[in-house]
Structure 1
Amino acid sequence: MDQHQKARSYLSESILFLIFRGIIVGLLAGFVVSSFRLLIQVVYEKVLHLYELAHEQSIYLALILGLYALIALIVGKLLLSEPQIKGSGIPQVEAELKGFMHLNWWSVLWKKFVAGLLAISSGMLLGREGPSIQLGAMVGKGVATKFGLASFGEKTLIASGSAAGIAAAFGAPIAGLLFVVEEVYHHFSRTVWITTLTASLTADLVSKQFFGMAPVLDFASHLARLPLEAYWLYLIMGLVFGFLAFGYEKVVLVVGDCYQKLGKILHIQPAYFSIVALIAIMPLTYFLPILSGGGHEVIVTLPKLNLSFWVLLMWLVIRFVYCMISYGSGVPGGIFLPILSLGALSGAAFGALAVQLGLIDNSMFSIFIIAGMSAYFGAVSKAPLTAIVLVCEMVGNLSQLMPLAFVTLVSYTVMDLLKGAPVYEAMLEKMFANKEVDVSEKLMLLQWPVSDKIAGKQVRELELPRQILITNQVVNGKNEVVSGSSVLYLGNTIDIIIRESDRHLAEKYLL
């Protein structure tokens, strides 16, 4: 049986097989990511307790410094042995799906777990969600390996594991599915969405066994609505957040270069840059512990603090600087939750200013926090649907779907007009800048919908490069073999055979 026949066999499998594999991936990824999330929470609380003791006896500061040195040493050793656990891990997952990289799933899984746990729970301003996505993806790859699936099935389970990682980390299964479609896999076929949704829902159920039924950000069950005549505030907010997101992306892409220059001055290997970030966060965690860590605490506490615009602006600047210091060090940790925390602080500052100017009532303040999260993340990631649904699922409230969609659309539009790229794709491009991309001879099958770009054309009119072979068109559930004279119709799906490393060509010519 050739590669195409194997692929068609996989894609035509019973829905029960797809659901079964999704459940397996969801159960395993849900357990791994939930354990990761729980251990981070427990260890971080212990670290904060050490800082509390340091206020009473300064000797504990020396103990903390020694602990940080040990963390830097262990994380550095793990990074040297497995460089692909660096950072959030999302660009690596995208590279795997594009065929640019082939990760050792077991090596990445356990080393990312250990190094991510140590780095994130130390108090650095890093998120657990990016690592959770990579952990879930590696679980998916491991399951595919155990099932003996070929490339086409393996990619589906990697994508499903990514969604399961988000679901377990955020308690947001639908956002997990949307993130895979918008940011990771970039297409939506029956095989992908069934397996991914099943894995995402299963992982969410597992996480609820660990953390209960309450939303991750349980502070917005009752939100006052902004009157329609005040919606112009959302317009201004979206415009401002588009520029803020553009600035964030520019800085986050160059902060690693700054570390490289600093490392040469201090004679520190890149794998051990974390010691700089760990020492830098000590005064922050000592004097303002609420601003340390991934950002969960500062988000849920903001509605209760009644802070002025200037204090919130100061907090925003502090967290922005420390987010860059933490992520730029290259340790295993993400920007997902830190982005949301910056959005929450920006939204809180905007809302506080509106309250002080008498433009809104104080009861409407909280809506600007969740709108800020959606607008900021939607623009930075250029995944607006994911951002909207993610924030709604995290706060457990769909009543503000319209204002979130409005402000996110505006910020996304500004980001797009400024030519800002999706941050994870920009990171992926930077990762392979001036490097040889591995050319994989392995074939993969893609099942993509016929897009507006190619609809109504004959196959021969597409002038496709020789690396792309369209073999079938699915019409009303039936497979039709494609020839040069075949017309492609909007709404149908096509089967594409291509080398893994040439997947970007299919995106360029067909999407």
Structure 2
Amino acid sequence: MNSHKADYKLPNESLWKPVYRGIVVGLAAGIVVGFFRLSIEKLFEQVQGVYIQAHDKPILLVPIAAVSLLVAIIIGSMIRSDSDIKGSGIPHVEGELKGLMHPNWWSVLWKKWISGVLAISSGLMLGREGPSIQLGAMTGKGLAQAFGAGRAEKRVLIASGAAAGLSAAFNAPIAGLLFVVEEVYHHFSRMVWVTALVASLVANFVSLNIFGRTPVLAMPKDLPFLNLSQYWILVLMGIFLGLLGFFYEKIILNIGRLYQFLGRLTHLSAPLYVILAMIFILPIGYFYPQLLGGGNGMIVSLPTSNLTFWTALSYLVIRFIWSMLSYGSGVPGGIFLPILALGSLAGMVFGLGMVNLQLVSHAALPLFVVLGMAGYFGAVSKAPLTAMILVTEMVGNLKQLMAIGVVTLVAYIVMDILKGQPVYEAMLANMEPTVEHTVVEPTLIELTVSDKIAGKRVRDLVLPKNVLITTQIHQGQAEVVSGSTLLHSGDTIYLVVNEPEISKVRELLMT
């Protein structure tokens, strides 16, 4: 190990420091993401309005195509200059927290902001939340550099910035915290959850001052309840959503091959695949402008839309295909909100099917829209707690947690039985062969002693070379670890690890 660069200092146990830094990260990330979201909303309104006018004046498609081409070239040049701005950004954040990636935070911050606004507001079926999470994480990384934080604390601030980014994007502070712990950071330590929670709450406060207190996906206030005798319908719905989620993951992980094929045909390099995505979206903008964008407007309109079963199914198919075409181009934009949009349509289709079979009333459809979002996202992300809390925060209704829990759990189990992977981890795995481990430095990580290693002596553990357990916090007291130290379940241990091995060590000791 490069001991001269080591970062072995144990985190300060005082709460003041994580609270203070959480406030700063939340305030900065809230401002960055808040204006990112506002810019997208204002520009998208204009773009969608022009597409609506084009339906009566097709000649308007000419300037739309010209502007789209210009935007695509601008985005492509930014991607060429920094590949870390491609796609959602969540896999990049996970990769950095695992020590696999080391992006330039300033380059990603401003280029992702501009390219993300241009791409998402253009009508492509992309979400703002993935880029918002990456923008928040890069804000946290920049502040960590300003604070002179060590690598262990830098990871905490990156994770906290990610939580703040999701909170500001969706007005969902608790979901922001859960998403980071469950999907991004994969560890629930005091330093992480305190800093991340404070950052999420502050970022949400900033967002509420910009956008108001109306829930992002406001649904009817009194969602109908199903009778307990009808809960078997929720089990069927969970199975349906789990199967759809598995199919979604298989396609989204392989859609890049289509663009590679098209790139060879058109002689376009990868950064300019966005030109093809812009071309693909033109007919949807002309015929179905209501389906453009991330989908939050469509989701909110579903309960009062009076769609037929076949119309809802056709919308689901269109959004599924064009969401894939949008994301597969590598353009800066996320799948988070599009997943929720697909889930809402899948819930609508399932609900209308139940209505047609006279198993539920038509008044129950808003509930199926909500259940569809939670179950589908829970399956695709394999983060069921985040899915449940995120949807309840976004729709502003906590009364349906039981039904949401049943559907989400069943969808998650189906996805697990089919060996589906958490989609963002799978995306990162696809990226890892191209990651250059140019920085191999030791750092301090914090883990909770799991049942897998509890009761063992340190000398009995099989650990990779150059991994050192330094300290165990037992009954509130720090003790230096030796080979004979007994590990106690629930205690906190600190390990010195080379950054690229963080994920491997966590897997060995925690699962």
Normalised by the length of structure 2, the TM-score is 0.97
One-letter code aligned to 1:452: D
Write the distance in 2 (CA, Å) between the matches of 1:123 and 1:273.
16
Q: Which residue of 2 aligns with 1:182?
A: 182
Q: CA deviation at 1:374?
A: 0.7
1:100–1:439 contact (8 Å) kept in structure 2: no
1:427 alignment counterpart: 427
| TM-aligned CA deviation for residue 5 of structure 1 | 7.2
Q: Name the counterpart of 1:481.
A: 480
1:215-230 mapped onto 2 (5 Å cutoff): 215-230=215-230
Q: Which residue of 2 aligns with 1:244?
A: 244
The offset of 1:275, in angstroms, is 1.2
Corresponding residue for residue 48 of structure 1 = 48
**RMSD between aligned residues:** 1.3
CA distance in 1, matches of 2:174, 2:207: 14
Deviations 1:223-261 (A, max 9, x none): 111100000001011111111100000000110111011
Q: CA deviation at 1:441?
A: 2.5
Secondary structure (helix, strand or coil) at the match of 1:7 reads coil
Q: CA deviation at 1:222?
A: 1.2
* Separation in structure 1 between the aligned mates of residue 99 and residue 153 of structure 2, nearest angstrom: 14
> What displacement does 1:308 show?
1.6
Which letter maps to 1:491? G
How far apart are 1:462 and its partner, in Å? 1.5
Task: In structure 1, give the amino acid aligned to 2:341.
Answer: S
Match of 1:384 in 2: 384
* Cα shift readout 1:328-387 (whole Å, capped 9, x = no counterpart): 110000000000000000001001111111101122111111111111111101101000
Match of 1:401 in 2: 401
Q: Is the 8 A contact 2:5 2:441 kept in 1?
A: no
Question: Counterpart in 1 of 2:372?
Answer: 372
- Measured in 2, the distance between the counterparts of 1:468 and 1:376 equals 39
Aligned twin of 2:343 = 343
Q: CA deviation at 1:221?
A: 2.0
8 A contact 1:439–1:501 mirrored in 2: no
Number of residue pairs aligned between Structure 1 and Structure 2 = 508
**C-alpha displacement at 1:439, in angstroms?**
5.0
Specify the alignment match of 2:81 in structure 1: 81
Q: Which residues of structure 2 form unaligned runs of 5+?
A: none
Query: Which letter maps to 2:313?
Result: L
Q: What are the ranges of 5 or more consecutive residues in structure 1 without an aligned counterpart?
A: none
SS at match of 1:479: strand
Q: Say whether residues 1:447 and 2:454 are aligned partners.
A: no
Q: CA deviation at 1:58?
A: 2.9
Q: Who is 1:143 aligned against?
A: 143
Q: Which amino acid aligns with 2:9?
A: A
Q: Which moved more, 1:324-333 or 1:273-282?
A: 273-282
SS of equivalent to 1:472: strand
Indicate the percent of aligned positions where both proteins have the same amino acid.
53
Question: Aligned residue for 2:66?
Answer: 66
In 2: Cα distance, 1:151 partner to 1:244 partner? 40
- Equivalent-residue separation in structure 2 for 1:5 and 1:41 (angstroms): 42
Correspondence for 2:463 = 464
Letter in 1 for 2:437: D
Distance in 2 separating the partners of 1:313 and 1:232: 23
CA distances 1:66-109 after superposition (whole Å, capped 9, x unpaired): 11011011001100111100000011111111111111100000
Secondary structure of the structure 1 residue equivalent to 2:469: strand
Counterpart of 1:466, as a letter, is K
Work out the CA distance in 2 between the residues paired with 1:384 and 1:228.
22
Secondary structure of the residue aligned to 2:55 is: helix
TM-score calculated relative to the size of structure 1: 0.97
Measured in 2, the distance between the counterparts of 1:368 and 1:284 equals: 26
Give 3-state SS (helix, strand or coil) of 2:404's partner.
Answer: helix
1:113–1:135 Cα contact (<8 Å) kept = yes
Alignment of 1:80-479 (within 5 A): 80-433=80-433, 435=434, 437-438=436-437, 440-479=439-478
- Work out the CA distance in 2 between the residues paired with 1:355 and 1:468: 59
1:14 shift after superposition: 2.2
Q: Which amino acid aligns with 1:314?
A: S
- Determine the structure 2 residue equivalent to 1:7: 9
SS at match of 2:87: coil
Amino acid at match of 1:245: G
Give the residue type in structure 2 aligned to 1:500.
E
Q: SS at the partner of 1:432? A: helix
| Cα pair distance change 1:90/1:382, threshold 3 Å | same
* Equivalent AA in structure 1 for residue 479 of structure 2: E
Q: Structure 2: how far apart are the matches of 1:52 and 1:154?
A: 46
**Residue pair 1:79, 1:271 contacting (<8 A) in 2 also:** yes
SS at match of 2:444: strand
Tell me, in whole angstroms, the C-alpha distance in 1 between the residues paired with 2:291 and 2:52: 15
Q: Distance in 2 between matches of 1:364 and 1:455?
A: 48
Query: What CA distance in whole angstroms lies between the structure 2 residues aligned with 1:407 and 1:313?
Result: 20
Contact 1:467–1:502 (8 Å) recurs in 2: no
**Preserved contact between residue 239 and residue 411 of structure 1 (Cα < 8 Å):** yes
**Aligned residue in 2 for 1:24:** 24
**CA deviation after TM superposition for structure 1 residue 220, in Å:** 3.4
Q: Which amino acid aligns with 1:22?
A: G
Query: Partners of 2:228 and 2:14 in 1: how far apart?
Result: 49
